[in-house]
Every structure is written in C-alpha cells, then in structure tokens.
A and B are shown apart, each in its own frame.
Chain A
Amino acid sequence: KNQVEQSPQSLIILEGKNCTLQCNYTVSPFSNLRWYKQDTGRGPVSLTIMTFSENTKSNGRYTATLDADTKQSSLHITASQLSDSASYICVVRHTGNQFYFGTGTSLTVIP
C-alpha cells in the first residue's frame, strides 16, 4: 500500500534553533518527493523537490535529504524564524499522476 508517514506530528522550538522533520514512504514506483509548507489558512507551497538520484538539496535555510534505498527523507530547518511556523507536508509522486501526502508536521516557533 502506498503510504507517506511523517514525524513528529507537532514540534515547538525556540526562535533561532534548528529542527529536523522526517518523512518515510512506501510509494512505489517512485518519481519524486517534495516538501511543501502550508501556512495557516493558505494552500501548500513547494519548498524543494528531490528526485531518485539526489541525496541533498538546499533552499535557503531549508535542506532536504533523500535516501531512496531506505525510502526516507528529512527536512532540516536552520536558524528558525517565527515565520517558519506552519505545517510541513511531505508529498511523494507515483510514476503517474498520483500524489501521496503525509499528514504533515505542525511546527511552532516561539520567541
């Protein structure tokens, strides 16, 4: 069964600290994996894409990793800011037009 699981479900960190969000998937065959950020009351917005051959990709303070062998991805946020408070959703694309969504990690950054 194609599934995407994320952990932790929620996370509270102090402003300026780092954090790492996890995503495990069983989607097969695999096309690519994206991390999306969803601010409260908004639609999700793509942060980064990982394809099968990529291990690490950075987008500013966001760094995503992918281990296609173990089917795990992580999103590391460096020097967190209050505006990072959001839900982070891992989305895996099947080799077709289907996308599988994790339930998201709710991140709260406090001053």
Chain B
Amino acid sequence: GAGVSQSPSNKVTEKGKDVELRCDPISGHTALYWYRQSLGQGLEFLIYFQGNSAPDKSGLPSDRFSAERTGGSVSTLTIQRTQQEDSAVYLCAGRLDRADTGELFFGEGSRLTVL
C-alpha cells in the first residue's frame, strides 16, 4: 500500500477483554515497530521485528501483551485481559532497512479505550 495502515482506528472495550490491533506496513519495509503513546508522554517502545530475526520484545510491559508478524508483512498486537492503564494510542511504524536513513513511517494509530 501507499502508506502504513492500522486498524481499528478506535476501539472501546471493557476491562478484562482481549483486543487485537492490526498493522499493515508499506511493502518492502522489513523493520516494524510498535509504540504506545499515552497523553502527555513520549512514545514508548513495545516491540521490534526485523526480517526473519527473533523480535525484540524488551519493551512489552507485561505478559498480557504479545505481537506477531506473519510473512514479514502484517503485524498484530494482542492485549489480553485489558486494564484501564492500557488505554492509549498504539502506533505502528515501518522502516526500510536497505540504505537505511532511519526514517520511521508511522500509521495513524489505534486509539484504545478500556472502560
């Protein structure tokens, strides 16, 4: 696609429910990042995928959070047993690895509200 696509754009859920957030990066972007952006906070790193390498999961805040990337393209971030503190905007970003200048191409984010 022409840009990074994220869905849903908005999600309201009840505490304790599971949610899945989807990211479809720009074709050819082998690196993919998930970040969380809370009000008044900087972007918080969650997880990083690079090609076929094992993902860097060092930013995941708890074992309720997981992510996968299938076929080196689409990625899904799953939050189990959601808590109110999980409410935030979840941003996905891709990066072109070859001749890499480090520019991150972001989607518009998925706004999660946990009631």
Q: Are B102 and A89 in contact (CB under 8 A)?
A: no
Q: Are A97 and B41 in contact (CB under 8 A)?
A: no
B59 to chain A: closest residue by CB: A98
**How large, as a class, is the contact surface on chain A?**
20 to 34
Q: Are B42 and A89 in contact (CB under 8 A)?
A: yes
Q: CB-CB < 8 A to B4: which residues of A?
A: 43
Q: Are B50 and A49 in contact (CB under 8 A)?
A: no
Q: Are A32 and B102 in contact (CB under 8 A)?
A: yes
A42 to chain B: closest residue by CB: B108
Q: State how many angstroms separate the Cβ of B27 from the closest Cβ of chain A.
A: 17
Q: CB-CB < 8 A to B43: which residues of A?
A: 44, 89, 101
Q: CB-CB < 8 A to B50: which residues of A?
A: 97
Taking the complex as formed, is B34 at the interface, i.e. its CB lies under 8 A from any CB of chain A?
no
Q: How far is the CA of A45 from the CA of B3 in the complex (A)?
A: 12
List A residues 62-111 near B (Cβ within 8 Å). 89, 91, 93, 97-99, 101-104
The residue that B108 contacts in the complex, of A32, A43, A99, A103, with Cβ under 8 A, is A43
Taking the complex as formed, is A55 at the interface, i.e. its CB lies under 8 A from any CB of chain B?
no
| New A-B pairs, 18, CB < 8 Å, besides A43-B93, A99-B104 | A4-B42, A34-B103, A42-B108, A42-B109, A43-B106, A43-B107, A43-B108, A44-B91, A44-B106, A49-B101, A91-B104, A93-B102, A98-B45, A101-B42, A101-B43, A102-B42, A103-B42, A104-B42
